[in-house]
Amino acid sequence: MAPTVTAERVECWGVRGIGEVAPGADLAALLTGPLDAGGGLRPYDVVVVTHKIVSKAEGRLVELGAVEPGPEALRLAEAVGSDPRLVEVILGETRRVVRAVPGLLVAETHQGLVCANAGVDRSNVGGGGLATLLPEDPDASAERLRQAWIPLAGGGPLGVVVTDTFGRPFREAGVNVAIGVAGLPAVSDYRGQADPYGYDLRVSTLATADEIAGMAELVMGKIDERPVAVVRGLRWPAGEGDGGEAGTLGGARRLQRDAARDVFRW
């Protein structure tokens, strides 16, 4: 049977007392105290972490004042009305420019994510001309945190989800989504199972990690200095994703639709 994440009742709370994260910080160790103070961890907990503090700890910061924009960055910056230096940084994180219109630059990142500005962001970095980049490998970042925190959760299972806020086609505003997942299925796959009426499900898959990320953002907020949340009450098949096998369930990459099946690219 394909792995699924289930729950009868779920709790979610933001973790306080984290403070500023400096480049090179041991993020797992830095968060251990606040996690303990917030009630500790138990088996089957999921720790949700905004990518911003992961990126800071991993040194994924750029000083825009030191960036020299090239011809393509100058051209795109004029088209979208943005800082050429910022556009140059965006291009460095970009596999493919999806759309460039006034006020909007959408790009596919080297990690395969499609989002505004390739995930390059100037918010919550303390000002001074700094911008943050997405983690180079968000699934690996999630797995490193998971490995460090498994003892706090009594040996696990333990899930970790690294998040960012994305916009969506045909929908206003943004939602928190999973860009890195470790320890639990990113997708709950019900294909091949029967519904209560005996109908065999054929296309029913749920973006479970995105649902977890969206729930966590409700208690994390954007300006509340709570970049970490804990979700409790979920269950998934025992052993799935445990044992340091970050790629066992595909991580957040499982959420990226293959280009051949993506109707928005046709």
Q: Note every long-range contact of 119-122, with CB atoms under 8 Å and residues 24 or more positions apart, other chains counting.
A: 119/51, 119/93, 119/164, 119/179, 120/62, 120/86, 120/89, 120/90, 120/93, 121/52, 122/86
Specify the pLDDT at position 245: 42
Torsion over CA: 180, 183, 189, 190 (sign): negative
Considering 86-100, 126-140, 191-205, the range whose residues carry the highest mean pLDDT is: 86-100
Specify the pLDDT at position 263: 66
Does the pLDDT value for residue 195 go beyond 70? no
Least confident residue range of 56-60, 139-143, 184-188: 184-188
3-state secondary structure 133-150: CCCCCHHHHHHHHHHHHH
Does the pLDDT value for residue 66 go beyond 70? yes
List, in sequence order, every residue forming a beta bridge with 117; answer none if it has no partner. Answer: none
Q: What is the band of 265 on the pLDDT scale with cuts at 50, 70, 90?
A: low
Count of CB atoms situated within 10 Å of the CB of 265: 12
Look at the domain 61-131 and name its fold. CofE-like fold (3.90.1660)
Specify the pLDDT at position 196: 63
Distance CA 199, CA 197 (A): 6
Distance CA 173, CA 251 (A): 25
For the segment 39-49, what is each residue's pLDDT rounded down to a tens digit?
Answer: 899 999 999 99
Q: 138: which residues sit within 8 A by CB, 6+ positions away?
A: 51, 54, 111, 162, 179, 180, 251, 252
The answer to whether domain 11-59+137-257 and domain 61-131 are alike in fold is: no
User: Average pLDDT of 1-16?
Assistant: 84
Does the pLDDT value for residue 224 go beyond 50? yes
Specify the pLDDT at position 243: 43
Q: How far is CA 222 from CA 145, 147, 160, 171, 217, in A?
A: 22, 27, 20, 20, 8
> 3-class SS at 55?
helix
Beta pairing class for 104-109 and 114-116: antiparallel
Provide, rounded to the nearest whole percent, the portion of the chain with pLDDT above 90.
Answer: 62
What architecture (CATH level 2) is domain 11-59+137-257? 2-Layer Sandwich (3.30)
Does the pLDDT value for residue 199 go beyond 60? no
Q: Are 14 and 229 in contact (CB under 8 A)?
A: yes
Provide, rounded to the nearest whole percent, the portion of the chain with pLDDT above 70.
Answer: 84
Specify the pLDDT at position 244: 40
User: Average pLDDT of 198-226?
Assistant: 80
User: Average pLDDT of 183-192?
Assistant: 77
Locate the domains of the chain by residue range.
Answer: 11-59+137-257, 61-131
Conformational region of residue 62, where left means phi above 0, alpha means psi within -120 to 50, and beta covers everything else: beta
HSE value, Cβ hemisphere, 13 Å, CA-based, for 214: 10
- The model carries a pTM of 0.89
Least confident residue range of 3-12, 56-65, 92-101: 3-12
Specify the pLDDT at position 225: 78
For the segment 226-256, what is each residue's pLDDT rounded down to a tens digit?
Answer: 999 999 999 998 664 444 444 456 788 888 8
Q: What is the band of 172 on the pLDDT scale with cuts at 50, 70, 90?
A: confident
Specify the pLDDT at position 202: 56
Specify the pLDDT at position 13: 95
Q: What is the band of 193 on the pLDDT scale with cuts at 50, 70, 90?
A: low
Least confident residue range of 104-108, 137-141, 170-174, 257-261: 257-261
